[in-house]
Amino acid sequence: MTIDFHAPANRYSYAGREVQSDWVAVVRPLVDPVAKRVADIGCGGGLYSAAWADLGAAHVTGVDFSAEMVRTATEKNSGRANIVFRQGDALATGLPAESVDIVFERALIHHLADYDACFREAARLLVDGGRAIVQDRTPEDVALPGSPEHIRGYFFECFPRLLDTERARRPTSQVVEQALGRSGFGALQKVTVWETRKRYDDFLGFATDLRGRVGRSILHALTDAELNELARFIGQRLPANAPVVEKDRWTIWSGTKT
């Protein structure tokens, strides 16, 4: 089973946490968003749409093909006049051409079959000289071993078949770079980031989030019984009664529309 982004039950899956300073520290040197227009494509609950506005963007448009995600993002960002959300497909957003300075796509492309079409749409939206920022996990990011510093690695130790699923859907860096190049982007840069996903007071808080499959689409490939087994497996490997800091390694590609 894969996640159904359109299901009302999943509408808060990408809304229940805060963007952390380690993400800001890596993204900020890549592009100056102050007074810029940003499109956040595949915006989910709009966490990063808000983060771009917090960084000084003049206007942010979040786009998602799921009406439920758009509803959640709108609800979570109500009262912020410079952030709007629209339903649209990443391959044909419906936004005007050359209407933004930055296109941001986080955790989107591994859900798509056609990266070129996605990046061509990003190029269409951008003004000349605009920047695309694409964040996802490569097969190498995903396959890092489990440890208290990389809890997600335990998912694959416990259920190796999940790693096959990840390897099949995660983009290699070469594939992303080539697709960006073919779609009209130059001056490509690649950085990696250990992004804090969430902090929990203790293991119980983490396990509750895990059992809810919150924000981790790969967990939709496990049954409820398997999810309980995974929680037990991880619980045996983390210190009891101590705060849990969940970090994942990501790759961020950026390119300038030429």
Ligand X SMILES: C[S@@+](CC[C@H](N)C(=O)[O-])C[C@H]1O[C@@H](n2cnc3c(N)ncnc32)[C@H](O)[C@@H]1O
Asked if 14 interacts with ligand X (CB under 6 A), we say yes
Helix axes 203-211, 224-235, angle to 10 degrees: 160
Task: Compute the distance between CA of residue 94 and CA of residue 121 in angstroms, rounded to an integer.
Answer: 10
Asked if 42 interacts with ligand X (CB under 6 A), we say yes
CA atoms within 13 A on the CB side of 243: 6
Nearest residue to 251 via CA among 150, 133, 156, 155: 133
Supply the minimum distance, in Å, between the C-beta of residue 187 and ligand X: 24
Give the range of 25-33, 106-114, 167-175, 199-207 binding ligand X by CB under 6 A. Answer: 106-114
Binding mask 109-128 for ligand X (x = CB under 6 A): --xx----------------
Binding mask 182-221 for ligand X (x = CB under 6 A): -----------------------------------x----
Nearest residue to 191 via CA among 13, 30, 3: 30
Q: Is 85 exposed, middle or buried (0-12, 13-18, 19+ CB in 10 A)?
A: buried
Among 65, 155, 185, 206, binds ligand X (CB under 6 A): 65
Asked if 50 interacts with ligand X (CB under 6 A), we say no
Q: How far is CA 177 from the centre of its chain?
A: 18
Among 31, 59, 64, 206, binds ligand X (CB under 6 A): 64
Among 31, 38, 39, 47, binds ligand X (CB under 6 A): 47
Task: Compute the distance between CA of residue 202 and CA of residue 146 in angstroms, rounded to an integer.
Answer: 18
Which stretches of the chain bind ligand X, using CB under 6 A? 5, 14, 42-44, 47-48, 64-66, 69, 89-90, 106-108, 111-112, 217
